[in-house]
Amino acid sequence: MDNEYLFKYAEKKANTFNLYCLLIIAVLGLVAEILNEVGLFTLDKTVMRLTMIQLAIYASIPALIFFIHDKLLKKDESVLVKPFFRWVIVIVSFISVMGLCISFSFHGTLLLAIPPLIAAQYKNNKVLTIFSFIGSLFMVDIAIFGSLLLGQYDANLLKPLTEAEASVLENRVNLLTAKRITEIVFHYVVPNMLALAAIDFIGLSIIKRTTEMIDVQIDLSNKVNAEIVAKTHMQNGVIEHLADIIESRDLETGEHIKRTKMYVSILVNRMKDMDKYKDYLTPKMCEYIINAAPLHDIGKIAVSDLILCKPGKLTDEEFEKMKIHTVKGGEIINNILNELGDKEFLEIAYQVAVSHHEKWNGKGYPYGIKEEEIPLPGRIMAVADVFDALVAKRVYKEPMPIDKAINIIIEDSGTHFDPSIVEVFQEVLEDFKSAATQEL
């Protein structure tokens, strides 16, 4: 996974989590309003209703933006990965929590810890986190003095006013003398700021520690991936060099390797979308089979030049010696490539090399296995291998017309070849014809 993908994945997860947080806050506010209406709480109903309305509106804004952008407009890239969306969520959380703080008197100021904790979900965004932390402390003043002017009655904050006197806004405004403001700052604002700062510090420290642990895991994962990529490059380099060795001994075999890889790619890319094969032919498995195709004749390194380059039909004895290239190919893959690549790829390469001359009816070689006993990569390779052998020029024969070669493949369905793969072959004939006439 590249860094951009990881960033977008983390951004999407953080925004999704915070969306749920805001919706939960809105739901809890609705529950509190219902409980207040039925008399379990004794808060002023008018103030409570106004507070819950604003809370529901503001907390729903991000969800509404997500619904319009992703569901109605169906944009290609989700709004959850857009950088601006985090600011929307944090600002909305500030406004929503501020309304609660003002309405529920100064006791609610600790709710201002929520926005910084929401901001801290966004990985490596110090500006947003610092803004939220400082903003939450600054808003303690607004919350407490806003509560004094507009919030629920609190005997300590509004002394010496009675509840009836506090219902008149002018009486509340008259409390704001220099002396009273100083008392409020030192008795309410500063202690709540310190408490809020402590909560934010602990919460942010925990999140920072978790983030650092995740960073370590990502770093280790990147190192492992880098090692895998390095091994894969080395493995592919060895494959190319082995293919070059074969080509240096027999030019026709070298061209055959390149063409059969194209044929295998055509078949695999069609089969991967079919219900019968989609569970097995994952993107990684398709890559393995296509990259293993050039190794199907690697065992010919062990075959004498007198046989490999003979300008004529092989004798029975020579053909028996030629047949060992399948087993030898498996041995070479196990012995030479074993330390270079992952085991799954080597298993596929081994299957391709050893089983591509097996036949559906069990009359192939080297082991005479039949039908689905033959590994799928070997059955795919068989069609590609024979088709190219028919249409390509060899030292002992001229190329066969493509249409005639196609008919032979179709006629041998159920005897030489897997009938299902032959059906796929018939669906991609035009691609095969194009590849067969392509200059290498």
CA distance 336 to 326: 15
Q: Which has the closest alpha carbon to 365: 410, 302, 299, 305?
A: 299
Task: Give per-residue burial for 44-82: e unless 16+ CB within 10 Å, then b.
Answer: beebbeebbebbbebbbbbbebbeebeeeeeeeebbbeb
Return phi, psi of residue 348, to 5°.
-65, -45
- Find the helix packing angle between 376-391 and 283-292, rounded to 10°: 40
Cα angle 311, 312, 314; round to 5:
120
- Helix 126-150 crosses helix 190-249 at what angle (to 10 degrees)? 150
Look at the chain and count its residues.
440
Distance from C-alpha of 174 to C-alpha of 183, rounded to nearest angstrom: 15
For residue 337, give the nearest of 227, 234, 440, 245 by alpha carbon.
234
Residue 85 corresponds to which tokens in the numbers above?
Answer: 């969306």
Collect all residues with Cβ–Cβ distance below 8 Å to 92 and sequence separation of at least 6: 22, 58, 59, 61, 62
Nearest to 358 by CA among 345, 339, 342, 371: 371
Query: Are 310 and 318 within 8 A, CB to CB?
Result: yes
CA separation (Å) from 112 to 101, 188, 391, 415? 8, 15, 76, 76
Catalytic: which of 300, 310, 370, 393? Answer: 300
Residue 339, amino acid = E
The two three-digit tokens of residue 248, written as one number: 């240096």
Residue 299 DSSP label: G
CA–CA gap between residue 117 and residue 385 (Å, rounded): 62
CB atoms within 10 A of CB 186: 10
Active site residue 179: no
Catalytic positions are: 300
